[in-house]
Amino acid sequence: MSKLITGSSLIIGVLLIGIFNFLVPGNSDAFTENVTEINAFTENLGSNKENAQIFFIIIGLGLIFFLNGILGIYKGIGDREKNIKGLAITLNIVAIVMFLITLGIANAFADSAEMNMIAYQIANQAGMAAQSGDPAAMEQYNLASINSIIAGAASGGVYAVYWGVFAVATYVIYIATAATGYIIIKSGNHYLTPLMNSIVGYGLLGLGPIFLVLGLIWKVNTEIGYRIFNVSQILWVILILILGINILISKKK
């Protein structure tokens, strides 16, 4: 794989991931509000379902671009770092696949959140009508209330699965990031200057374990935990951009 494809894939991938993850409804407020709480999460995705689902697709494309770039780096390493190369490739593939699954679940949650909100509104309207004491209106209210409960339970189930898979995916990507950093320190000087090799390599090697520990202490589905994840993502995007740009400008083939 040429350095043009490898570098471009890394740059395009992380830009798509970083920008459109920020644009997902609610994520721009992650540092000031608790956007992971189920009611806030439901309102953000349910009220903006179409935009959210488009952004999920674009983020998915970004993940694929990024993986292509990472595989290009490993291919360029050749037979070097055999002791960790296979593990690093496997971890990155597993992490990307898990994040793609997470995006699929998020897409399903957006649908269920919208239905949940509609069912809740219908139940409220039926409740107001039932205050008149009309038997037909009261029956309609009871039916609407049952539908609202069912919709809420379904949405809650998808919510739990989403954050469960998301949490595991973050743990895997942190370990994969550390492994990638180690490989860059050992073999990244083919494309990078010694300074850039140290910045990117040690940056990724340090980022992975630090945020893995923080993620285990503060779960990603909590207010603080999600903020920690977003900080790690910002740092990750910066480091991968540096890596991708330096691969593109390198005079080596």
Q: What are the boundaries of each domain within the chain?
A: 3-116+142-249
What predicted TM-score, i.e. pTM, was given to this entire model? Answer: 0.85
Radius of gyration over every alpha carbon of the chain, rounded to an integer in angstroms: 22
Q: Residue 173's pLDDT is what? A: 94
Amino acid at 11: I
Q: Residue 142's pLDDT is what? A: 46
Q: Residue 122's pLDDT is what? A: 53
Check if the beta carbon of residue 25 is closer than 8 Å to that of residue 48: yes
Please give the C-alpha separations between residue 178 and each of 116, 153, 212, in angstroms, as whole numbers: 40, 38, 10
Q: Residue 82's pLDDT is what? A: 66
Amino acid at 183: I
Chain mean position to CA 56: 9
Q: Residue 188's pLDDT is what? A: 59
Query: How many degrees, rounded to 5, is the angle at CA 44 between CA 97 and CA 126?
Result: 125
Please give the C-alpha separations between residue 163 and each of 13, 32, 103, 201, in angstroms, as whole numbers: 23, 20, 11, 30
Burial class (CB in 10 A: 0-12, 13-18, 19+), 153: exposed
Output the DSSP codes for 134-194.
-HHHHHHHHHHHHHHHHHHHHHHHHHHHHHHHHHHHHHHHHHHHHHHHHHHHHHGGGTS-H
Q: How far apart are CA 199 and CA 51, in angstroms?
A: 36
Nearest to 193 by CA among 135, 243, 232: 243
Q: How far apart are CA 96 and CA 54, in angstroms?
A: 18
For the chain, how far is it from start to end, CA to CA, in angstroms?
10
Q: Residue 154's pLDDT is what? A: 52
Nearest to 41 by CA among 168, 152, 171: 152
For the CA atoms of 191, 197, 202, 207, what is the dihedral angle to 10 degrees?
Answer: -50
Q: How far apart are CA 25 and CA 49, in angstroms?
A: 9
3-state secondary structure of 251: coil
pLDDT along the chain (253 residues), means of 10: 85 95 90 86 82 94 94 73 78 94 89 63 51 50 45 65 93 93 77 81 93 93 93 94 88 64
